[in-house]
Amino acid sequence: MAEITAALVKDLREKTGAGMMDCKKALTENAGDIEAATDWLRTKGLSQAGKKADRVAAEGVVAVALRNDGKGMTGAVIELNSETDFVARNDKFQAAARKTVAVALDTNGDVEAVRAGKTADGELVSDLVTNLIATIGENMAVRRSAKLTVAEGSVSAYVHNAVAPEVGKIGVLVALEGAADQAAMQELGRKIAMHVAATNPLSLSAEDLDPAAIERERAVLVEKAKEQGRPENMIDKIVDGQISKFQREVVLLEQPFVMNPDQTIKALLADTGKELGAAIKMTGFVRLALGEGVEKGPENDFAAEVASMTGGN
């Protein structure tokens, strides 16, 4: 009997798009013959996944997960895409998203590490997705992932437009560092996460703001001032003031808190820290919105229309 090597399994996976265990079984059943194994997978309906890889997967879900690490916490968020919103509402698809985000908790947050990780069932995430493609019949992909960790404090999560617990259209993580009561910090973090979902800030602090974003805004404001006929010698001063306003609008710590517009997020952290008897520092946030940056084709628009007509939204 021919030896079923890892390289042979890899070759068959690349050729058919089927899962690793299915490829190994196909090769075993066919004495290591690639062509015969390919035909075997086709008869089982497991070699179709690769043919769907060129179809745009712009729907799906964002999933979040949290883990208590004693004094600290870890949070993860992933985006699992499908072609249609209809499939995104499938229980198996949502379960796969939860399994995937659980894997992300034990990685460095890199999406490639998540894809290469193993679920609690011992299955590679890449195989989990490939097998789901073969079962459901749509292209799917783990597109993005992120992770936040604090040694002491809390990580909070919020899901907007939830379709199931911890699964929805927008996922936010907020990391707060400090020695205050962890449960109280987590509740504070959840409120800030809701704020982030609503306002979509560009950075945590002014120092973190991408200089390119500032320059783009400045260029727009300068042209606008010129079109308005502002005096040439006053344009820089006018634009400087507008840039300061722009930074207050897009920097999280400077934004007015949506639940109390008289208070900035920075002030909210300071005031809550005083109430809890320990300083609270926000160390990071992540906001993943489903389909950001994915260019949908006509077929995706039609799929959304069909889902809407059949009761989806």
Q: Is the dihedral of CA 171, 177, 180, 181 positive or negative?
A: positive
Q: Which helix (H) or strand (E) holds 146?
A: strand 141-150
In this predicted model, what pLDDT tens digit does every residue of 99-143 receive, in sequence order? 999 999 999 989 999 999 999 999 999 999 988 888 888 888 999
Partners of 61 in beta bridges: 80
Which residue ranges make up each domain of the chain? Answer: 6-47, 59-205+252-309, 210-250
Query: How far apart are the two ends of the chain, measured CA to CA in Å?
Result: 54
What radius of gyration do the chain's Cα atoms show? 24
Sole residue written with tokens 């460095």: 108
Give yes or no for a contact between 156 and 192, defined as CB atoms under 8 angstroms apart. yes
Fold of 6-47: Helicase, Ruva Protein; domain 3 (1.10.8)
Q: What is the pLDDT of residue 234?
A: 85
Mean pLDDT for all residues in the chain: 86
* CB neighbours of residue 210 within 10 Å: 10
**For the whole model, what pTM was predicted?**
0.74
Per-residue pLDDT of the chain (313 residues; tens, 9 = 90+): 578 888 888 778 767 767 778 888 889 989 888 888 887 876 666 655 445 444 555 789 999 999 999 999 999 999 999 988 888 899 999 999 999 999 999 999 899 999 999 999 999 999 999 888 888 888 889 999 999 999 999 999 999 989 999 999 999 999 999 999 999 999 999 999 999 999 999 999 988 888 888 888 888 888 888 888 888 888 888 888 888 888 888 899 999 999 999 999 999 999 999 999 999 999 999 999 998 866 554 444 433 333 332 334 3
Give the CATH superfamily of 59-205+252-309: Elongation factor Ts, dimerisation domain (3.30.479.20)
3-class secondary-structure state, position 10: helix
Cα 114 to Cα 279: distance, rounded to the nearest angstrom: 34
Q: How open is the CA angle 168-105-139, to the nearest 5 degrees?
A: 50
Using alpha carbons, select from 92, 101, 181, 103 the residue that is nearest to residue 138: 92
Using alpha carbons, select from 96, 105, 84 the residue that is nearest to residue 142: 96
Sole residue written with tokens 């690639």: 34
Cα 141 to Cα 159: distance, rounded to the nearest angstrom: 20
Using alpha carbons, select from 127, 131, 119, 140 the residue that is nearest to residue 60: 140
Question: Chain centroid to CA 57: how far?
Answer: 14
From the options 1.10.1060, 2.60.120, 1.10.286, 1.20.1260, give the CATH code of 210-250.
Answer: 1.10.286
